Amino acid sequence: MKSDLKLFQKLASFPFLLIFVAFLFPLVNVSCSEKVVAEPNVYELIAGVTPESVLKEETFDAVKQMKVHEPRTKEFLEQPIESTRAILPIVVAVALAAVCAFITPVGSLAMGLAAFTSLWVFIYNLSATVVRQHYDFLVVEPGVGAYCISFLLVIGIAMNLTVLIRHYRANKQKKSEENIQDQHSSESK
């Protein structure tokens, strides 16, 4: 592989590494009556969250009042959201995509595609879990972090595809040149 292609292959890990910064942005927006009440990021979801732990400050005071007057609300707010551990495979896939970008673009491509798919399946399942746990008054939508992570994944995937295509073309050209040399050497004999 040419040195410029190897350099480009190593640079393909950069979008995957930037995703760890994008994990700080809100992955989902949780709203109630069209007002956003929580915006957890990936790291908060990994740590495990309860509905109360990710509430915005403005909402927190109103929730305190609700907990005093309604014991069922207190139980609801202190119960953990079940699917928060499902975010770990996405983080692992992104880390593996970054590492594989140094070794093989095929592995990085596969991990990038797995992370992209898993991210959107997670968001869909999180909203379904919220409804299944009888929090149907809450609406879960993708946040800015989901779009930022997706954008960086697409860039990383495209860079790995570029490396693969360039490598394939270089090999094809090399074989073509070898065939031409073989033909010339056989004709000269």
**How far apart are the C-alpha atoms of 27 and 120, rounded to whole Å?**
10
Whether residue 94 is predicted with pLDDT greater than 80 in this model: the reply is yes
Which of 88, 81, 31 is closest to 56 using CA atoms? 31
Tokens of 92: 């692992």
Give the pLDDT mean for 132-138: 73
Residues 6 or more apart from 81 whose CB is under 8 A from it?
Answer: 49, 50, 51, 126, 129, 130, 133
Say what the pLDDT of residue 140 is. Answer: 86
**How far apart are the C-alpha atoms of 21 and 94, rounded to whole Å?**
12
Say what the pLDDT of residue 82 is. Answer: 59
CB 98 within 8 A of CB 13: yes
Give the pLDDT confidence of 12-67 residue by residue, as tens digits.
Answer: 889 999 999 999 999 998 887 778 877 888 988 888 776 666 666 666 676 666 66
Burial class of residue 69 (count of CB atoms within 10 Å of its CB; 0-12, 13-18, 19+): exposed
Which of 73, 70, 94, 92 is closest to 14 using CA atoms? 94
pLDDT tier for residue 104 given thresholds of 50, 70 and 90: confident
Whether residue 103 is predicted with pLDDT greater than 60 in this model: the reply is yes
Which of 59, 8, 67 is closest to 29 using CA atoms? 59
Give the pLDDT mean for 151-178: 89
Residues in the chain: 189
**How far apart are the C-alpha atoms of 31 and 124, rounded to whole Å?**
15
Say what the pLDDT of residue 37 is. Answer: 78
Say what the pLDDT of residue 51 is. Answer: 63
Residue of 82 and 151 predicted with greater confidence: 151
